[in-house]
Structure 1
């Protein structure tokens, strides 16, 4: 049995493969889970939060972190498939924190823009309806 596994990350932006993963730890909805190569098949939901990945040979292990917006994980003996809306990989928790804060700011700006656009459409619809009421004799 191999001592490493692959982690496939599926987001709307595409599929990304992370190789040579020796173990990972994630926060499932029912508690923290550690996953090693050869893990039995399972499917679980995981919460948003850092996922810790340990990569590289035993004498030179590197820890990296993956931030997600929650999702589901499908485990099998050869690897893990993570399906989520967004994910970002970083070498340190500080770098990951900066990426998460940037994502939150981006989402906040997009939500504000969507609210403003919806308001403009509502005002335009009310004006059009008011114009139609004036044109139709009662």
Structure 2
């Protein structure tokens, strides 16, 4: 069996970007009912992917490296759906980041989390300002109507 018959392609698709990982030999992810794994040649199926890290094992290209042992990489995701086919996997998610190791992935997730927190704080501040302005406008309107 050739390497191409023992591997699949994984497409990670978000609304903003698509990543393609080739020569994938194993994918492990958390689902609603536990941890699951997918190997090349898997029957067609769909699976729910929980928020967190997806572990991907790939074979390096023989022309790039003499060491042909599988390499691990990781995808952080907000959760989504994995469409499984015998030679192609498609992960549909609202957000994803691909990294070569967990430390790199953790740094990306921390940066994203900090950015989201800043946006949420700004949104709460803006909402409070708008609510205050609305209350003031209603008070002015009541004063004008009551005269």
> TM-score, normalising length from structure 2?
0.85
Q: Which moved more, 1:15-24 or 1:97-106?
A: 15-24
SS at match of 1:59: coil
> TM-score, normalising length from structure 1?
0.90
Q: Is it true that 1:72 corresponds to 2:81 in the alignment? A: yes
Deviation, structure 1 residue 9: 1.2
State the match for 1:8 in structure 2.
Answer: 11
> How is 1:26-37 mapped onto 2 (pairs within 5 angstroms)?
26-37=29-40
Deviation, structure 1 residue 56: 2.0
* Matches of 1:35 and 1:79, distance apart in 2: 11
State the match for 2:146 in structure 1.
Answer: 137
Residue of structure 2 aligned with 1:46, choices 49, 59, 64: 49
1:113-133 Cα distance to aligned partner (Å, 9 max, x none) = 111111111111111111111
* Matches of 1:98 and 1:63, distance apart in 2: 17
**Which 4+ residue blocks in structure 1 deviate beyond 6 angstroms?**
none
In the comparison of the two structures, how many residue pairs are matched? 138
* Matches of 1:60 and 1:29, distance apart in 2: 31
SS at match of 1:2: helix
1:2-61 Cα distance to aligned partner (Å, 9 max, x none) = 221111112122322222212111111111111111111111111122211111248242
CA RMSD of aligned residues (A): 1.7
